[in-house]
Amino acid sequence: MADPADDDRPVPDDHDSSVRPTHSLWDVMRHEGDGEPKPDPEDAADALDGGESLNPLPTAFDDEIEFAEATSDTGWDGTSDLGGDVAREPADSMDEVVGHDSVLESPDEESVDEAETCESEILGEYPGLSVLPATELPAFPSAGSDRKRREPATLALVFGIAAAALLLLCLLPLTALRIIPGIAGLAALTYGCLALAKRRSGSSGWQVLFAGTGLSLGLVGLFAGPLWLNEAGERWRRKQTSRVVTANLQQIWAALDSFHSEHQRFPAGGSFADYADGLPIGMHGWMTDLLPHLGYEQLSAQIDRRRPWSDPANAPAMQTRVEIFLTPGTPYEPTPTDHAPTHFAGVGGRVETDFGTGDLGIFGRNSQLTRDDVIDGLSQTMIAGEVAQSIPAWGEPDNWRSIGAGLNKSPQGFGNGDDTGAHFLMADGSVRFLPNRMSLQTLQQLSTRNGSEP
């Protein structure tokens, strides 16, 4: 087939010269970039009359050019922003199609101008679009400055001081608080070792000083608590508890002595009344008789002695907390009957010993004992002691018990909250702490008032 460009057939006279010829996108962009005037439609018509073709034959790059033209100034319908149809013109090479040179090579002045022109066209078409200048990007702190603020030597010193200061927590009874100084000490050791490891890379003198001080304090916080302060805290707490328990028992003895001086006898372990059916009913206990002698006159006046201690009329008084009847080593909890508890119980009842039957302490049902009834000696006879289990109410009329199987051996016996022994009030007013290791035979001999033990 003959080339259309070589066709010598004349152009018909009725040819419409007003038809605007199509131009390639590349020609349009080339003329706009070079500042040359756009081709005149009449020149295009003359070119047609002369047999010249503005559209060469398709080349092997038509497929790639089709994609490039689709992303150019033409719309989706194939029309140009300049108006009319845009003719396709082949690219000189694949690099011109995909723009590899513009990616791999540094941009020249011409490409920069084209980019600026493209940006201007985009901003003109979309007024709401703004381009953030590079100078307006937020500035982030450098990693070097952050590391400088967190210098290992400084952190070692900070954690070391914290570990030493937190050692006071080891004196508290909570185990969870005791491990905090150890954690701070371990952190001080870690940062101290990191700081000293950097010494070869040119550490300053103050960094070495901080790291060494932090290491020393970290060792103190890590080992001083478990090796010394924890046990020291336990001893301190036991000492403070013992001091309070001793003071409370001494006040109880002062009230017993005052009652004995006033009534010429000790108060009854419990007062009981007999009903018509012959069954006894508990009225009031020995601690209730001590209230006026302990400074609780108003509380004592609220109690109706004609009614049992558990009568609803006496509930407000029996639910009142009396600090002297409590110990700091045992948690405060109301009794199952919702009455105020006591952590002391009287020594009373009877027991069989190697020397026969003996009466315990000075308390019993409707008892009226005096000092003369304590045959074994006032300093060798228990009359009250600590209890940590089966906690009674201070108003109970049968608040006394025996030694049982030993200290901290049974719920119905005597013992303290630390499970180490028990404090006892002796009939001469002295207070003794007896440990768990004391033999049951010795405890029984000390609990009887007329056992005739040697």
Q: What is the pLDDT of residues 284-333, one digit of tens each?
A: 999 999 999 999 999 999 999 999 999 999 999 999 999 999 999 888 99
d(CA 444, CA 453): 10
d(CA 19, CA 40): 12
State whether the Cα torsion 259-262-266-267 is positive or negative: negative
pLDDT of 33: 46
For residues 257, 259, 261, 264, the Cα torsion angle rounded to the nearest 10 degrees is -120
For residues 205, 207, 211, 212, the Cα torsion angle rounded to the nearest 10 degrees is 10
pTM for this predicted structure: 0.59
pLDDT band at residue 208 using 50, 70 and 90 as cut-offs: confident
**Tens of pLDDT along 158-204?**
888 888 888 877 777 777 777 888 888 888 888 888 887 776 555 56
d(CA 91, CA 27): 11
Q: How far is CA 4 from the centre of its chain?
A: 88
Element spanning 384, H or E: strand 382-386
pLDDT of 202: 55
Q: What is the DSSP string of 321-382?
A: --GGG--TTS-----TTS--B-SEEEEBSEEEETTEEEEBSSB-BT----GGG-TT-GGG-E
DSSP tag of 11: P
d(CA 90, CA 102): 19
Question: What average pLDDT does the segment 214-237 reach?
Answer: 81
Question: What average pLDDT does the segment 203-209 reach?
Answer: 73
Mean pLDDT of the chain: 75
pLDDT band at residue 87 using 50, 70 and 90 as cut-offs: very low
d(CA 389, CA 343): 9
Question: What average pLDDT does the segment 81-105 reach?
Answer: 45
Q: What percent of the chain is modeled with pLDDT above 90? A: 39
Domain residue spans of the chain: 16-98, 147-241, 265-447
**Tens of pLDDT along 338-370?**
999 999 999 998 877 666 677 899 999 999 999
